[in-house]
């Protein structure tokens, strides 16, 4: 990795010098130390650092948060905040600027280093495919558009979505799904003569910027080739797997000369291809843009799903490294869609959140999981803790904490057997509500785990300020951990930090022996992932529990 350049914005000279010395000794280059928001923006304009460390409280016209917002929106440079103390209002403003990290002073050198590493990594690359992510795509697309401005050529922005990837995930498993995604990424990256850049946007969605072409038909021809390339058989574990893609194309300058607008238009065209059955490309037309009936139908289905009992809770075993035994289960909701089959929560949870349906859905999952766990206990199965995911949006409900205790009372489950999984982002959104809820839950005996640790605001100072029990290292850091030095370094740092704070560490998404061996060696406490088992329907999970299986770790 090249040497990363960092700008320090900090109005206390001694602290700034200290940070600078630390960073230099850690191998970073400092583009400057400045004392105000105005100077920060000027310095960024001039030196384009890779990351900015920003004190929240600065003297002068422009405070840290305003400067950070400008740096993010104008330059797309990640900002990590530094602050000694922040009130609720400040935290809300901080959160609105989508920070890449948040460090509370005073802090330790290794926390600073880890926070910066996480921020830089998250900023530019997709962890699964290693392709550039949306942020790097936008930056490079804008450069391409700028360069082509005066020339007569056409720039084509292509979005590509794999058809029916959910089917692959639910029938062959997520690991095969991920393999397919990586394979497609590799095929697209290797097709250099026509493609300028490939990025991964969402789950099974890619964006491609084509090399300039003279006419629209040339772009159509390339799109056809890309469809063929994707459709070629893949050999997965000895058998052939086929996928197709839906493609949308928008052209500069005809459809727009703005990068974001071009992407949006390509998306619209891509949805159109999907609706026509997939394995197709479509150019953007204004008419297609009006055709968003599809989303509406989906929302209606989701609204009715709870009434029609289309949801089901699956259970993914969590294994304690020390004993090799199942110590808990993560409850993961599934939607058995009458037409589409099993839909993954990655798809419908965001929709449920947007539609205000997450509260009733979340309560239903909690109640189902608690009732089931109690039933297993009554049956005399080995003791078990159940982990339930909670969405940030559920905190908007006023009586959330009461509902949780009510459900525990009704289902008669010992609160010690319940763990609630929350993500980092949630805390910054409403610190007071989060603190209150956590305190109350922990007093009742409920465990609190921070989910997807490292992918959110990466505030390594949370555990100091909030009462948690466990950290779950996100699966993107576990991937190839035995070979990927960056992932390895981050994971080891998280484990050490968590242990120094007396927290349990759970690694999620463990897929193979090498990953497992690494985690055992570095003293991780608990693990879950496809290596042991994917999430199972309740009956299958009960059978596994009954077998009282003990893994040799």
Q: Applying CB under 6 A, which residues contact ligand C2E?
A: 174-175, 178, 316, 332-333, 344-346, 349, 362, 365, 389-391, 421, 451-452, 475, 508-511, 529-530, 534-535
CB of 344 to ligand C2E, least distance (A): 4
Residues 465/438, Cβ–Cβ less than 8 Å: no
List the single partner that 344 binds among ligand C2E, Mg ion, none, CB under 5 to 8 Å by kind: ligand C2E
User: Which structure tokens are listed for 92?
Assistant: 């809300």
User: Which structure tokens are listed for 153?
Assistant: 């050529």
Judged by CB under 5 A, how many residues of this single chain contact Mg ion? 5
CB of 164 to ligand C2E, least distance (A): 16
127 phi/psi in degrees, rounded to 5: -75, -25
Site string for Mg ion, 503-532 (x = CB under 5 A): -----x------------------------
- By DSSP bridging, strand 385-389 and strand 325-337 are parallel
Residues 478/118, Cβ–Cβ less than 8 Å: no
Residue 62 or residue 446: which is nearer to Mg ion going by CB? 446
410 phi/psi in degrees, rounded to 5: -60, -40
Residue 69 or residue 330: which is nearer to ligand C2E going by CB? 330
CB of 457 to ligand C2E, least distance (A): 16
253 prior amide bond cis, ω within 30: yes
296 phi/psi in degrees, rounded to 5: -60, -45
Residues 528/316, Cβ–Cβ less than 8 Å: yes
Residue 200 or residue 475: which is nearer to ligand C2E going by CB? 475
The b/e string for 356-376 (b: 16+ C-beta within 10 A; e otherwise) is ebbbebbbbbbbbbbebbbeb
CB of 359 to Mg ion, least distance (A): 18
List the single partner that 55 binds among Mg ion, ligand C2E, none, CB under 5 to 8 Å by kind: none
Check residue 451 for interaction with Mg ion (CB under 5 A).
yes
CB of 175 to ligand C2E, least distance (A): 6
Cα 310 from Cα 117, distance rounded (Å): 42
Select from 255, 452, 515, 525 the one that contacts Mg ion (CB under 5 A).
452
Check residue 421 for interaction with Mg ion (CB under 5 A).
yes
H/E segment holding residue 3: none
CB of 375 to ligand C2E, least distance (A): 18
Percent helix, strand and coil across the chain, each to the nearest 5? 50, 25, 30
User: Which structure tokens are listed for 2?
Assistant: 């090249």
CB of 154 to ligand C2E, least distance (A): 38
Give first-to-last CA distance, the chain, whole Å.
34
- The closest alpha carbon to 76, from 101, 46, 98, belongs to 98
Cα 256 from Cα 260, distance rounded (Å): 9
- By DSSP bridging, strand 205-210 and strand 239-241 are unpaired
CB of 203 to ligand C2E, least distance (A): 10
Check residue 419 for interaction with Mg ion (CB under 5 A).
no
Cα 392 from Cα 429, distance rounded (Å): 8
User: Which structure tokens are listed for 125?
Assistant: 């690359």
- By DSSP bridging, strand 311-320 and strand 536-537 are antiparallel
Q: Whose CB is nearest to ligand C2E?
A: 529
List the single partner that 418 binds among ligand C2E, Mg ion, none, CB under 5 to 8 Å by kind: none
Residue 39 or residue 175: which is nearer to ligand C2E going by CB? 175
Residue 389 or residue 491: which is nearer to Mg ion going by CB? 389
- The closest alpha carbon to 318, from 487, 481, 449, 503, belongs to 449
CB of 16 to ligand C2E, least distance (A): 37
Check residue 476 for interaction with Mg ion (CB under 5 A).
no
List the single partner that 284 binds among ligand C2E, Mg ion, none, CB under 5 to 8 Å by kind: none
Site string for Mg ion, 370-409 (x = CB under 5 A): -------------------x--------------------
List the single partner that 39 binds among Mg ion, ligand C2E, none, CB under 5 to 8 Å by kind: none
Residue 93 or residue 385: which is nearer to ligand C2E going by CB? 385
Q: Which residues bind to Mg ion, rule: CB under 5 A? A: 389, 421, 451-452, 508
């Amino acid at each position: 990795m090249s040497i990363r350049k960092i700008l320090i914005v900090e109005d206390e000279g001694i602290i700034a010098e200290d940070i600078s010395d630390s960073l230099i000794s850690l191998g970073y280059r400092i583009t400057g130390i400045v004392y105000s928001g105005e100077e920060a923006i000027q310095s960024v304009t001039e030196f384009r650092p890779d990351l900015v460390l920003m004190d929240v409280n600065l003297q002068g016209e422009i405070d840290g948060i305003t400067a950070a917002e400008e740096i993010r929106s104008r330059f797309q440079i990640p900002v990590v905040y530094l602050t000694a103390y922040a009130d609720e209002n400040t935290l809300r403003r901080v959160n609105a600027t989508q920070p890449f990290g948040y460090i509370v002073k005073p802090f330790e050198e290794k926390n600073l280093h880890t926070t910066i590493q996480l921020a830089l990594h998250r900023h530019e690359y997709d962890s699964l495919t290693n392709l550039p992510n949306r942020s790097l795509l936008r930056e490079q697309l804008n450069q391409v558009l700028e360069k082509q401005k005066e020339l007569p050529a056409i720039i084509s922005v292509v979005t590509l979505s794999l058809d029916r990837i959910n089917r692959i995930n639910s029938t062959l498993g997520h690991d095969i799904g991920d393999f397919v995604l990586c394979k497609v990424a590799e095929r697209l990256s290797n097709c250099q003569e026509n493609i300028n850049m490939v990025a991964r946007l969402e789950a099974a969605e890619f964006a491609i910027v084509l090399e300039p072409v003279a006419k629209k038909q040339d772009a159509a021809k390339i799109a056809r080739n890309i469809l063929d390339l994707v459709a070629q058989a893949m050999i997965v574990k000895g058998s052939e797997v086929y996928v197709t893609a839906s493609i949308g194309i928008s052209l500069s300058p005809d459809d727009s000369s703005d990068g974001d607008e071009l992407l949006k238009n390509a998306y619209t065209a891509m949805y159109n291809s999907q609706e026509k059955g997939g394995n197709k490309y479509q150019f953007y037309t204004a008419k297609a843009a009006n055709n968003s009936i599809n989303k509406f139908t989906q929302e209606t289905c989701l609204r009715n799903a709870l009434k029609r009992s289309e949801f089901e809770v699956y259970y993914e075993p969590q294994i304690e490294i020390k004993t090799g035994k199942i110590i808990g289960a993560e409850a993961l909701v599934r939607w058995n869609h009458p037409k589409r089959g099993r839909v993954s929560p990655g798809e419908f949870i965001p929709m449920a959140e947007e539609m205000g349906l997450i509260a009733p859905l979340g309560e239903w999952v909690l109640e189902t999981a608690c009732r089931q766990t109690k039933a297993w206990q009554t049956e005399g199965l080995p003791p078990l803790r159940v982990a339930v995911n909670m969405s940030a949006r559920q905190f908007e409900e006023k009586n959330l904490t009461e509902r949780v205790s009510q459900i525990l009372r009704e289902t008669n489950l010992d609160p010690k057997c319940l763990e609630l999984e929350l993500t980092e982002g949630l805390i910054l959104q409403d610190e007071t509500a989060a603190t209150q809820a956590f305190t109350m839950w922990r007093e009742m005996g409920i465990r609190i785990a921070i989910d997807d640790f490292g992918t959110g605001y990466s505030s390594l100072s949370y555990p100091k300020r909030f009462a948690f029990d466990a950290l779950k290292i996100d699966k993107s850091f576990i991937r190839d951990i035995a070979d990927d030095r960056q992932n390895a370094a981050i994971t080891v740092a998280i484990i050490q930090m968590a242990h120094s704070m007396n927290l349990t560490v759970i690694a999620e998404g463990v897929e193979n022996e090498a990953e497992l061996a690494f985690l055992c060696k570095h003293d991780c406490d608990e693990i879950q992932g496809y290596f042991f088992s994917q999430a199972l329907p309740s009956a299958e999970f009960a059978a596994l529990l009954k077998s009282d299986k003990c893994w040799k770790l």
